[in-house]
Amino acid sequence: MKSIALSLLLFCSVTVFAQRDYKQNVEIVRDSFGVPHIFGKTDADVGYGLGWATCEDDFKTLQWMLLAGKKMAGRNIGVNGAAIDFAVNLLRVRELVDERYELDLSPHVREIIEAMTTAVNKYASLHPDEVLVKKAFPASPKDIVSGYVLAEALLSGVDGPLKNIVNGKQPVIPFAENGKGSNGMAFNSSKTKDGAVYLDINSHQPLEGPLSWYEVHLCSEEGWNILGGTFHGGVTIFHGVNENLGWAHTVNNFDPVDVFQLQADPKKKGNYLYDGVSYPLETKKVWLHVNLAKKGKFILPVAKRVWWSKYGATLVTKRGIFAIRLGATTNVKTIEQYFRMNKARNFTEFRAALDLQGAAMMTTVYGDRFDTIFCLSNGLLPMREKGYNWRGTVPGNTSKTLWTTFHPESDLPQVLNPKSGYIFNFNNSAFDCTAPEDDPKPSNYDPTMGYTLTPTSRSLRFNEIIKRYPKVDWSDFLALKYDEGYGKQIHFFKDFPIEDIFSLSETDNPDVADVIRTMKVWGSYRLAPVTDTNFAVVYKTFWNLYSDSNEPLVAQLNSDPKVRNNFYLQSIRKSKAEMVRDFGKIHVQLGDLQRHQRGNIDIPLGGGPDMIRAAYPQPYKKGRFRIFVGDSYIMLVKFSKDGPEIHTISPYGASNKPNSPHYTDQMQLYANKQTKPMTLNKAEIYKKAEKIYHPQ
């Protein structure tokens, strides 16, 4: 009876945002892999179809982001969800959306969001048994936008300072009394043998969950025609390809979040000093609703207090008053910017979309059929006063530190059509994105931006092997994308040296001499194909080094070679014991240790952590590893003057519903380093369709 009542309630709500019957102007065409191709008369029709198809394939994951935007995550996933709800309250996400929704988003884009929301509400009304939190529906367009703002804030790393402040680890200022991985590369005709432009779109995200990719094709009669990856609940493609151009994103390394310590007014409790004047902290009580039941629902309301100052979101702790300020929570233009990127017809229009600065971060690696390649380390970077340690805790008692404007996109590190003919980013420094002679120079950029110079194992490896290719053909490009190796230096152990592990003495450690010898042999070639029989025990050792290290130990590992070697030997002994226990020997094929698993599919996989063919493990059964982060969506594009040739693969399949035939049907191709051909051609898609239908 409750289910029927919920269904009636939701059904009555779906017309709130609908201006017309979108579904009659939408067709969803499923190809042989179940990937949805959404065809609509208008862009808004396509938005409705996207909402419906996403719900069909993974309504649960879509709801996770929706619940976060509605401050209802705690009702679904308990304490961890309540922490997200607290952040949404603290950062005043919904207040920002209420204020900026009509200012930052065009009527056209708002109609697309509203059409998508209508589809989500309609699906919920027809499938009440799939609804996670009944009070979350009907959803509103602003709920969708709130989820975007929260995602941008989390991608910017706001959770790190929040945890530091709450846990008492944020450095404090002694005021005087008066006073938080991905690949992208593009080659143009200067570097390719056939004169085409090659583009690798290859994000490293979780393979499942809210940050996993959803492949979809969006096509309207108003000129929207793009294929690529979005998140469940996304309104546009986040990275992908249209008839003329495409782009990849990678997470970049700069300083997007600032933490300020406010100076408490000693004469007036609840006030702080700013330019010598006392101001009251704004404060209010918020209620978090936490589901404490492992099964079912047992919701406990918990009261928390949040504060606000001139600097924004503020926390009062025993160690002081701290404020957090970041660009991600200053506008709601993200969807607008991505929609314009989706519809851009050339580099000029694409760059104009970037100028909106609605995306708070992400390196963009771009290529098009006009022989243009471009790399931008994008970010909403404040115009900061020089002379302060912006990576640390900044004084929050002076107008000198209260930034209000941002660097324009033209100020940020970027390279357009370098003479070398190639660009790349593997989460490494913005100043290492092409050949050294074409790289941007750090000295030309504002140091307060906080860009790092840190390489990754992937970038070091790429810089080594690209020198082998004066020019590349398509097979070379595939070999680069699927490279399963480390270079002369392994860098993913960022906190302490790793190379001297390959110099340990076999004679001095006879009990693990076989493992040390194996590590030295593997260290001479450093490759990790699925059939390699040396890397498994090395991999286990790397895993144990990571798992068993902690902050106090890392300091000793950096300063004392003896402590470091003893720690290496401890990890090696542990790894040998585990390999003998689980496999009966230390030499097994990598694929026996590292598995690609979902449902009843359990297959071997090559690659490893911070390799270009990225695979990041979590413990599985019988001592094995199961990959949960890595090549989460792969799109390989060859642009000729006639348009794109597209190849893609997802790690599992188009659907996240276990009863779907497309739940696991791409797994073997993925493990084999193979792809499926895709197209933007409507006639060809209809000709080969597995299913054609209107959404409900």
Assess whether pLDDT exceeds 70 at residue 390: yes
Assess whether pLDDT exceeds 50 at residue 8: no
Cα angle value 502/506/508 (rounded, 5°): 120
Q: What is the CATH number of the domain that holds 342?
A: 3.60.20.10
Assess whether pLDDT exceeds 90 at residue 4: no
Q: Is residue 641 part of a domain?
A: no
CA–CA separation, 226 and 391 (whole Å): 39
How many domains is the chain built from?
2
The model's confidence at residue 546, banded by pLDDT at 50, 70 and 90, is: confident
Select the more confidently predicted residue: 696 or 15.
696
Q: Which amino acid is at 695?
A: P
Q: Are residues 454 and 515 in the same domain?
A: no
Assess whether pLDDT exceeds 70 at residue 564: yes
Helices (H), 70-130: 73-77, 79-90, 93-104, 107-126
pLDDT of residue 3: 41
Q: Are residues 465 and 523 in the same domain?
A: no
pLDDT of residue 613: 97
Q: Is residue 97 part of a domain?
A: no
Residue 390 phi, psi (nearest 5): -70, -15
Q: Are residues 340 and 432 in the same domain?
A: yes
- Which stretch of DSSP H or E encloses residue 6? helix 2-13
The chain-wide mean pLDDT, for the chain, equals 93
Render pLDDT for 110-160 as a digit per residue (tens, 0 to 9).
999 999 999 999 999 999 999 999 999 999 999 999 999 998 988 888 888
The model's confidence at residue 172, banded by pLDDT at 50, 70 and 90, is: low
The residue segments making up the domain with residue 349 are 182-255+331-392+405-473
Other beta carbons within 10 angstroms of residue 347's beta carbon come to 19
Q: What average pLDDT score do residues 517-546 get?
A: 97
pLDDT of residue 554: 78
The model's confidence at residue 642, banded by pLDDT at 50, 70 and 90, is: confident
Q: What average pLDDT score do residues 18-29 get?
A: 82
The model's confidence at residue 174, banded by pLDDT at 50, 70 and 90, is: low
Q: Which of 74-83, 321-330, 678-687 has the lowest mean pLDDT?
A: 74-83
Q: Is residue 348 part of a domain?
A: yes
Other beta carbons within 10 angstroms of residue 41's beta carbon come to 15
How buried is 343 (Cβ within 10 angstroms: 0-12 exposed, 13-18 middle, 19+ buried)? buried
Q: Is residue 566 part of a domain?
A: yes
Mark which of 557, 579, 594 sits at the end of a domain.
594
b/e string for 611-633 if b means 16 or more Cβ within 10 A? bbbbbbbeebeeebbbbbbbbbb
Q: Is residue 82 part of a domain?
A: no
Assess whether pLDDT exceeds 80 at residue 331: yes
Q: Is residue 87 part of a domain?
A: no
Render pLDDT for 401-442 as a digit per residue (tens, 0 to 9).
999 999 999 999 999 999 999 999 999 999 999 999 999 999
pLDDT of residue 173: 60
Q: Are residues 350 and 232 in the same domain?
A: yes
pLDDT of residue 492: 73
Cα angle value 202/206/210 (rounded, 5°): 115
Q: What average pLDDT score do residues 675-687 get?
A: 98
pLDDT of residue 451: 95
Q: Are residues 465 and 512 in the same domain?
A: no
Q: Are residues 424 and 512 in the same domain?
A: no
pLDDT of residue 10: 39
pLDDT of residue 550: 79
Render pLDDT for 239-278 as a digit per residue (tens, 0 to 9).
999 999 999 999 998 999 999 999 999 999 999 999 999 9
pLDDT of residue 175: 45
Task: Give, rounded to a whole angstrom, the gap between the first and last alpha carbons of the chain.
Answer: 23
pLDDT of residue 158: 84
Q: Is residue 216 part of a domain?
A: yes
